[in-house]
Amino acid sequence: MAKLNIKKGDNVMVIAGNNKGLSGRVLFVNVEKQRAIVEGVNLVSKHTRPSADNPKGGIIKQESAVHVSNLKVIDKSGKPTRTGRKIDEKTGKSVRYSKKTGEVIK
């Protein structure tokens, strides 16, 4: 399975689909399905039954998954950028970097 450009905790922007232009923080990444859940993006209505946590039940809004191909990482300058991988000189490990600025993404 190929590595993804998106990780949990990244700030990303949606570049395609109904939520194009929205940005948020990645909450969860499903590597097998190549989908990510982004905070405040792709909200869907979920019907819930009454339970101990929610005694009235009803309809709640929650985030749904977005395909990672529709997301771009936002770098330190605040603009979406493509990401690449290179070997870090100090540690010898593979790190992600911004193709726009060349800076290493945490």
Q: What residues contact residue 52 under an 8 Å CB cut-off, 6+ apart?
A: none
For 44, other C-beta atoms within 10 Å of its C-beta total: 10
- Identify the band that residue 3 occupies on the pLDDT scale cut at 50, 70 and 90: confident
Closest CA to 26 of 5, 2, 1, 45: 5
Query: What's at 17, amino acid-wise?
Result: G
pTM for this structure?
Answer: 0.83
pLDDT of residue 106: 81
Tens-digit pLDDT profile for residues 75-104 = 988 899 999 999 998 999 999 999 998 889
18, 58, 87 from 83: Cα distances, Å:
23, 41, 14
Spatial distance between the Cα atoms of 38 and 27, rounded to a whole number of angstroms:
6
- Give the pLDDT confidence of 12-65 residue by residue, as tens digits: 999 999 999 999 999 999 999 999 999 999 999 999 999 998 899 999 999 999
Q: Please calculate the CA angle 9-1-102 and round it to the nearest 5 degrees.
A: 50
In terms of C-beta density within 10 A (0-12 exposed, 13-18 middle, 19 or more buried), how is residue 24 classed? buried
